[in-house]
A and B are shown apart, each in its own frame.
Chain A
Amino acid sequence: MTESTKYREEDLIILLRSGERPAFEYLYDNYSGALFGIIFKMINDQHLAEDVLQEAFVKIWNNFSAYDATKGRLFTWMVNLTRNLTIDTIRSKAYKKQTKIQNSDIAVSYVTNNINESERFDTLGLRNQVKLLKEDQKQIIDLAYFDGFTQEEISKKLGIPLGTVKTRMRAAISVLKKLLVSQN
């Protein structure tokens, strides 16, 4: 935690609405890693994932007026925008041409290579807490959050009824909530 400035979400939104560059830098520095983590897990190609990240941040900036705080937090909006953009990229012709080989090893080595960079968020504690999730809890969260699966796709993949997707997701997230309660 080297950075002393930490905005409250309401203040950050006001600054972003008025087009303040430092506010947007703050947004980038604090959330680019989290968004990139999601894009990279879906795309698994560093260069392409970085292109999508760039496009996402430009879109976040240009469409900021579309963000409605009554409908949820800023980060949720950013994630949804980013995920949709990633899904569009995956469905695009250019991407389909590439051979798509899932390779989690690349992701792992990539994470380790970059772990020494200074992190504004103290993610180490978070990373350790998240490891305590059970495999099935992690799986259902990841299918939606990192793979961009719809409810129907999750229900099919796990072989459970649609209604059960909701209750399982709630259970998994409530465990996550408890695990993270000590982490600020």
Chain B
Amino acid sequence: MNKEEFISSGLLELYAMGICSPEETKTVEDFLLQYPEVRAELNEIEISLEKYAQANSIHPSSSVKEKVFNEIFPDSSKLDISAPVVPITKSYSGSRFYKLVAAAVFVLLIGSLVLNYSYYEKYHEAQNGLDVALQRVEQQSKKNEAMSTDLDVVTNKFTLPVVLKGTEKSPDAVAKIFWIKNTGQVYVDPTNLPQVPAGKQYQLWAIVDGKPVDAGMIETSNGTYHIQKMKSFGKADAFAITLEKTGGSPSPTMDQMVVFSKM
């Protein structure tokens, strides 16, 4: 590998991000020692990543700085201990005083236990509330992700949309196929298929060279009818969806075909 090939290989970028294998790291370090151009290129990559990190910076609490510096420079931040120590000379006598102190301590202890309990309860409530909120956020973000996948498939410039029309058995049914031509990936949008009867599931078929080939099962549980990825096909003459028993069949039940379209 000459230095130009090396620079364009992408290894320097991975090195700057700290994700090179030990062998790759060795290669990079050899090139760095040999070629100033390689070093200059790495420097630029590192500066970009440094700015990227700055652009994503978040300020920690100011107490962190204090803790760091107290740990590193303990002498300068220690309290002044040179002040004279004044001995406590005054002493109390009499058991009555100690009894009072003991009683006060006991009352405080009980009070503290009660407070502890009540705070513990509140803490639990707050924790539960937080858990619920976090779960909701997670569900929402899953939903968002699913929707953005839908959108990606639909807006991909290589996508060939195909409408599968209802057969005589179910004239109202419609389904859409999104066939991404450059990768062969097939997505199906089952939103307008009729409700699935219990124990049944829709199965997608691709007709290749006149023979039906299983293209995967369509997930319609929980009432979620999202665009979903099926098996990939480089070529197909037609697509069809049949209603099969849950889990699918090795070959399509022809009289249960709901939608169909030739390419």
Interface residues of A, Cβ cutoff 8 Å to B: 21, 24-25, 28, 32-38, 40-41, 46, 49-50, 53-54, 57-58, 61, 70-73, 75-76, 79-80, 83-84, 99, 101-105, 107, 110-111, 114, 117, 119, 121, 123, 126-127, 129-130, 141, 144-146, 149-151, 154, 165-170, 173, 176-177, 180, 183
Contact = CB atoms under 8 A, between A and B. Distances in A.
A54 B64 contact: yes
Contacts of B208: none
B137 interface: yes
Interface string B69-100: 10111001000000000000000000000000
B9 to A, nearest CB: 6
A37 B42 contact: no
A33 B17 contact: no
The size class of the interface chain B forms with chain A is: 35 or more
A54 B33 CA distance: 34
A33 B51 CA distance: 12
B192 interface: no
Contacts of B13: 166, 169-170, 173
B71 A58 contact: yes
B55 A130 contact: yes
Contacts of A37: 53, 56-58
A165 B134 CA distance: 33
Nearest to A99: B131
A84 B55 CA distance: 21
Given A71-B32, A151-B14, A173 B56 contact: no
A166 B9 contact: yes
Contacts of B67: 54
Contacts of A127: 55-56
Contacts of B72: 24, 57-58, 61
Of all A-B residue pairs in the complex, the 8 with the closest CB atoms, nearest first, are A166-B10, A33-B57, A170-B10, A126-B55, A34-B53, A80-B18, A114-B59, A130-B55
B142 to A, nearest CB: 10
Given A32-B59, A83-B18, 7 more contacts: A53-B64, A76-B18, A84-B18, A101-B137, A151-B19, A173-B49, A177-B45
Contact of A123 (B17, B19, B57, B68): B57
B19 A149 contact: yes
Interface of B: 8-21, 29, 32-33, 42-61, 63-65, 67-69, 71-73, 76, 131, 134-135, 137-138, 141
Contact of A73 (B43, B55, B71, B131): B43
A27 to B, nearest CB: 10
Nearest to B28: A71
22 contacts: A25-B69, A28-B65, A54-B68, A57-B72, A58-B68, A71-B29, A72-B15, A73-B46, A73-B47, A76-B16, A79-B53, A103-B134, A103-B137, A107-B58, A117-B59, A123-B55, A126-B51, A166-B11, A166-B13, A170-B13, A176-B48, A176-B49
A73 B39 CA distance: 10
B51 A180 contact: yes
Contacts of A71: 29, 32
B165 to A, nearest CB: 32
Contacts of B51: 126, 180, 183
Contact of B52 (A24, A141, A166): A141
B48 A173 contact: yes
A71 B15 CA distance: 10
B60 A50 contact: yes
